[in-house]
């Protein structure tokens, strides 16, 4: 039968069945596609929510940054005002200090000399304490530690302490600067002392230089001569009526005036 004849035939049950089957397949295909589209819509919606949340967080951070910036600006303004007040106070104090210096410069020479004398006495007193307590203790500790290491009798005699103290004083006051390497070597057995001694020694040297360029640490002595009561003091348990054997600690002398006498050892006539 020709195709033209078939087109003219009535629409039968078989044709209806095939058409419905085709329609069902098409519907199922569209349903699956709609499902896919629905999932895509959900994913897009989720991504949109994430973007919106990120935007909200950024806005919160922006607001926080704005607040922090405002707080910093307020702090800067406060500090600027404080700096201005301190500058004004400094200028006022500087002016008053200048006036005091001018008054001291025009004061009676006797008053200035008295002030310098008091300063030298204070330096001498600090120097005396430094020698008699800290320097002597360091020398004793070093000698004692050395004896213990050599398994000798533990108590050092005064001659050994005097020798070590004399070497320490030379390292501290015998040159234009403190010989810190020599100081550490002399106190190798007592390592806690060098830094402490150097700090105090540096302070004393600085104060002496600031008080007068004529201040000196005098190690000069005449061995074999009796100790001079004006410029020397017999150290430790050495005989006060003996002749000078050596200098343990220097004198503090300013323009020929002895503010603190030497420490010396003696021996019998």
Checking if the pLDDT of 8 tops 50, the result is no
Kindly report the average pLDDT of the chain as a whole number: 81
From CA 266, how far away is CA 77, in angstroms rounded? 71
123-154 residue pLDDT tens: 999 999 999 999 999 999 998 888 776 665 66
Among the listed residues 259, 260, 241, the one whose alpha carbon sits nearest the alpha carbon of residue 249: 260
35-87 residue pLDDT tens: 777 777 777 777 778 877 887 787 777 776 677 777 778 788 787 777 777 77
Checking if the pLDDT of 90 tops 90, the result is no
From CA 229, how far away is CA 220, in angstroms rounded? 15
Give residue 35's pLDDT: 75
Within 13 A of 120's CA, how many CA atoms are on the CB side? Answer: 22
Q: What does DSSP assign to residue 175?
A: S
Give residue 3's pLDDT: 45
162-187 residue pLDDT tens: 999 999 999 999 999 999 999 999 99
Q: What angle do CA 90, 96, 98 make, to 5 degrees?
A: 100
Phi, psi of 216 (to 5 degrees): -140, 160
Helix, strand, coil content of the chain in percent (nearest 5): 65, 10, 20
Checking if the pLDDT of 104 tops 60, the result is no
From CA 37, how far away is CA 43, in angstroms rounded? 10
Checking if the pLDDT of 191 tops 60, the result is yes
Q: How many CB atoms lie within 10 A of CB 31?
A: 10
Distance in Å from the first CA to the final CA of the chain? 163
* Alpha helix stretches (DSSP H) within 106-217: 109-129, 136-149, 158-173, 180-186, 193-211
Dihedral over alpha carbons 36, 41, 47, 49 (to 10 degrees): -150
From CA 162, how far away is CA 116, in angstroms rounded? 32
């Amino acid at each position: 039968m020709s195709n033209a004849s078939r087109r003219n035939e009535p629409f039968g049950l078989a044709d209806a069945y095939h058409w419905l089957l085709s329609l069902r397949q098409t519907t199922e295909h569209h349903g699956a596609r709609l499902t896919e589209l629905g999932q895509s819509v959900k994913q897009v919606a989720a991504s949109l929510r994430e973007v919106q949340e990120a935007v909200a967080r950024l806005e919160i951070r922006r607001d926080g940054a704005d607040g922090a910036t405002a707080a910093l600006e307020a702090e800067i303004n406060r500090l600027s005002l404080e700096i201005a007040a301190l500058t004004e106070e400094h200028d006022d104090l500087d002016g008053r200090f200048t006036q005091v210096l001018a008054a001291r410069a025009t004061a009676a020479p006797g008053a200035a000399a008295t002030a310098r004398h008091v300063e030298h006495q204070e330096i001498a007193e600090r120097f005396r304490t430094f020698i008699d307590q800290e320097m002597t203790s360091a020398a004793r500790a070093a000698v004692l530690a050395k004896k213990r290491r050599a398994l000798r009798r533990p108590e050092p005699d005064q001659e050994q302490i005097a020798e070590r103290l004399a070497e320490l004083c030379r390292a501290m006051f015998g040159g234009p600067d403190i010989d810190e390497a020599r100081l550490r070597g002399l106190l190798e057995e007592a390592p806690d002392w060098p830094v402490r001694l150097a700090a105090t020694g540096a302070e004393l040297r600085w104060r002496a230089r600031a008080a007068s360029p004529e201040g000196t640490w005098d190690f000069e002595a005449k061995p074999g001569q009796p100790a001079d009561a004006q410029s020397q003091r017999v150290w430790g348990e050495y005989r006060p009526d003996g002749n000078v054997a050596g200098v343990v600690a220097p004198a503090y002398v300013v323009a020929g005036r002895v503010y603190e006498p030497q420490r010396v050892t003696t021996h019998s006539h």
